[in-house]
């Protein structure tokens, strides 16, 4: 199994029961107006969404030209009639959440504007301030506050420096009315070709903005250079987002089996029922086409009969886990996984990405929030249909409910329009990697971290109010924007192993900025993966095990672009917002001469580098 979930054996054992879901599913001019009205119309149209059951359209593309991608993105928000708030980024043409397409070596220039307004005065009361001074402008990376209508950008998965105007999320905060803030960075020449994404990362307020739809794909072109079998293949970009329930008070579908009464988890969402059914914590959408509870009317994906396509799927959800499956005649179809979290399968391994294991064939793919999968899928025959579904995920007794549900009906028709993008016809192979395969590198140290939660009332399992991600030996604490030192210090040029435990009763998704890692062990069992990740599930603790569930990962600090301070956190964004985050500082590499001086207690230039680093 490519992505591991707790109780995955139960998922497989009960696939017959979940087929019930499939059976259920198959039965489903401005010049004359005053300026004030024009403004009202613009606000109403901001962050517009397709109607339920729409055909899934590709996000608009913004492509680099002559080695440069320059674009203006404006952050917007609007309140719907039912009180839900939509968020989005639009370009100068008004296109929503464009896919940024770049190549290695390209210069990326993004002018970020903030046009959001305070739609909920209660949100403005709670803000992070004091850790910054001054007003954010186009020339400075010190804002004065992070609140519900602040914004910034994080380029998830990209190996670019965590510094001002590049990928800093700890100090950068763009306020409404400020001048455009400029992001300017160069895509590394050795950035793996694949699917990445961008989204706001305002601590304490990331969840509502991402939940409202503020996200978009970022593609580093050239995956066919790593996977020549993909040459000339049509590609599709599918962004799956979650959102607040459109029909929160609706009773479950009459066709569903009886499930326990809806309970709320400790975050106030529908709790995990353990049945695969029931009210979900959040609705889902695919390229903004909503698929609402309780009947999950599917969106429509059109394909030419029998055509093979590369699907690039991003889970841009704030809290929802996905477990994707494609069904034809209720039978799971083979999905040829070719990249995970932006990195081609086999890339950097001794065998290479075109070896015998270059395609990882699966029947379902687990994707935690923030993760990405890229896979080959074949359309049904002419006149045939299929379903893209997400199967239930066991998030633990303290987790949210992620039940079985449809996402889209796949319709095969010869008159289907060509997808807007195809991969290159005759790709030049990627150069061999400069660094040894991560799995063959000896780590310089092993660190231990753990997820935990604090209950306001130990006798009430729904009362958790604080979330922690702690380095063993340190005191659990919520992430503090005012902290004057990082939780962990590492050194560029090294590799480390991290063991991450979960001491809570809900599933968590570990993510670290700026780099990728190799999963070595899962729940104490060795795994042998030939791909890297930037996000991984850590199984929940059921209260009965003698040891806490854990994963062991090999973390790669060899890239010089990651020198600086950046966060690691749970990618369940309400957990991150409530404190489940820490920071790491990657120091410049130490030469042999400076290392000797640093280790000499009599040296005037001693830096203490031979002492234990924080978090060790």
113-150: per-residue pLDDT in tens? 999 999 876 555 455 543 333 344 445 576 567 899 99
Question: 276-331 pLDDT, tens per residue?
Answer: 999 999 999 999 999 999 999 999 999 999 999 999 999 999 999 999 999 999 99
Using alpha carbons, list the distances in angstroms from residue 100 to 9, 78, 106, 232, 305.
38, 24, 12, 20, 29
Return the CATH architecture of domain 44-219: Sandwich (2.60)
- Which one, of 510, 416, 406, 498, lies nearest residue 467 by Cα? 510
In b/e form, how buried is each residue of 37-76, taking b as 16+ CB within 10 angstroms?
eeeeeeeeebbebbebeeebeebeebbbeeeebebbbbbb
pLDDT score of 352: 84
In angstroms, the CA 570 to CA 540 distance is 13
Span 470-489, pLDDT tens digits: 999 999 999 998 888 999 99
Report how far residue 177's alpha carbon sits from residue 65's, in angstroms, rounded to the nearest whole number: 30
Cis peptide before 294 (omega within 30 of 0): yes
Cα 250–chain centre separation: 29
pLDDT at 613: 53
CB 217 within 8 A of CB 150: no
Fold match flag (8-25+228-412 vs 44-219): yes
The pLDDT value recorded for residue 128 is 55
pLDDT of residue 122: 58
Q: Is 406 helix (H, G, I), strand (E, B) or coil?
A: strand
Q: Identify each DSSP E strand in 304-439 by its residue range.
A: 308-315, 322-328, 331-332, 335-340, 343-344, 360-362, 365-367, 372-378, 385-390, 405-412
Write the CA distances from 153 to 114, 176, 200, 489, integer angstroms.
11, 15, 5, 24
Superfamily of chain region 8-25+228-412:
Cupredoxins -  blue copper proteins (2.60.40.420)
Contact 449, 472 (CB under 8 A): yes
- Residue linked to tokens 């290695």: 104
Sequence-separated (6 or more) residues with CB below 8 Å from residue 54: 289, 299, 300
pLDDT, residue 138, reads 45
Homologous superfamily, domain 438-599: Cupredoxins -  blue copper proteins (2.60.40.420)
CB 175 within 8 A of CB 124: no
What is the reported pTM? 0.89
Q: What is the DSSP letter of 226?
A: H
pLDDT of residue 615: 59
pLDDT score recorded for residue 276: 95
List average pLDDT for each run of 10 residues in the chain, which is 616 residues long. 41 36 37 40 73 96 97 96 94 96 98 93 52 42 79 97 96 92 97 98 96 98 96 97 96 87 86 95 98 97 97 98 97 97 94 83 97 98 94 95 97 94 93 93 98 82 80 95 92 98 96 98 94 97 92 97 97 96 94 48 42 55
- Ordered by start, the domain boundaries in the chain are 8-25+228-412, 44-219, 438-599
CB atoms within 10 A of CB 385: 15
499 sits in which H/E element? strand 495-502
């Amino acid at each position: 199994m490519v992505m591991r979930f707790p109780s995955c054996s139960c998922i497989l054992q009960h696939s017959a029961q979940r087929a019930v879901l499939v059976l259920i599913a198959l039965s489903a001019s401005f010049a004359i107006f005053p300026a004030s009205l024009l403004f009202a119309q613009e606000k109403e149209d901001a962050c517009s969404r397709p109607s339920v059951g729409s055909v899934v359209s590709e996000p608009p593309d913004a492509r680099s030209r002559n080695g440069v991608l320059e674009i203006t993105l404006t952050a917007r928000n609007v309140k719907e009639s039912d009180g839900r708030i939509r968020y989005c980024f639009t370009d100068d043409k008004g296109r929503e959440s464009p896919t940024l397409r770049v190549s290695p070596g390209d210069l990326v220039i993004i002018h970020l504007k903030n046009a959001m307004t305070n739609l909920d005065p209660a949100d403005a009361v709670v803000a992070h301030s004091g850790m910054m001074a001054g007003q954010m402008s186009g020339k400075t990376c010190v804002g004065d506050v992070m609140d519900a209508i602040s914004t910034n950008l994080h380029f998830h998965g990209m190996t670019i420096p965590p510094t001002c105007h590049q990928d800093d999320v700890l100090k950068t905060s763009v306020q409404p009315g400020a001048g455009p803030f400029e992001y300017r960075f160069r895509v590394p020449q050795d950035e793996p070709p694949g699917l990445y994404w961008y989204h706001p990362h305002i601590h304490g307020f990331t969840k509502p903005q991402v939940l409202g739809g503020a996200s978009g794909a970022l593609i580093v072109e050239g995956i066919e250079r790593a996977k020549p079998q993909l040459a000339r293949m049509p590609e599709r970009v599918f962004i799956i987002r979650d959102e607040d329930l459109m029909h929160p008070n609706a009773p479950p579908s009459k066709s569903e089996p009886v499930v326990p009464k809806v309970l709320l988890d400790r975050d106030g969402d529908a709790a995990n029922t353990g049945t695969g059914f029931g009210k979900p914590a959040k609705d889902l959408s695919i390229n903004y086409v909503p698929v609402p509870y309780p009947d999950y009317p599917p969106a429509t994906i059109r394909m030419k009969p029998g055509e093979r396509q590369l699907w690039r799927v991003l889970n841009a959800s704030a809290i929802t886990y996905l477990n994707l499956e494609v069904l034809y005649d209720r039978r799971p179809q083979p999905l040829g996984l070719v990249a995970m979290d932006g990195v081609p399968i086999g890339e950097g391994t001794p065998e290479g990405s075109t070896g015998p294991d270059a395609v990882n064939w699966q029947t379902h793919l687990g994707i935690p929030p923030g993760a990405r999968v890229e896979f080959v899928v074949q359309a049904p025959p002419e006149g045939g249909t299929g379903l893209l579904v997400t199967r239930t995920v066991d998030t633990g007794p303290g987790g949210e409910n992620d039940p079985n549900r449809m996402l889209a009906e796949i319709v095969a028709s010869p008159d289907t329009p060509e997808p807007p993008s195809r991969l290159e016809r005759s790709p030049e192979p990627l150069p061999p990697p400069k660094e040894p395969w991560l799995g063959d590198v000896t780590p310089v140290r092993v660190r231990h971290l753990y997820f935990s939660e604090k209950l306001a009332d130990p006798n009430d399992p729904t009362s958790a109010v604080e979330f922690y991600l702690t380095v063993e030996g340190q005191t659990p604490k919520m992430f503090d924007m005012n902290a004057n030192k990082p939780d962990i210090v590492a050194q560029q040029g090294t590799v480390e192993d991290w063991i991450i435990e979960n001491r809570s009763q809900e599933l968590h998704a570990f993510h670290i900025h700026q780099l990728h890692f190799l999963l070595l062990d899962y729940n104490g069992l060795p795994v042998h993966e030939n791909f890297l990740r930037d996000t991984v599930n850590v199984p929940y603790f059921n209260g009965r095990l003698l040891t806490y569930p854990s994963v062991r990962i090999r973390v790669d600090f060899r890239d010089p672009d990651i020198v600086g301070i950046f966060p690691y956190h749970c990618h369940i964004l309400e957990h991150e917002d409530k404190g489940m985050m820490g920071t790491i500082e990657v120091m410049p590499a130490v030469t042999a001469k400076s290392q000797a001086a640093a280790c000499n207690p009599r040296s005037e230039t001693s830096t203490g580098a031979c002492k234990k680093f924080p978090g060790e």
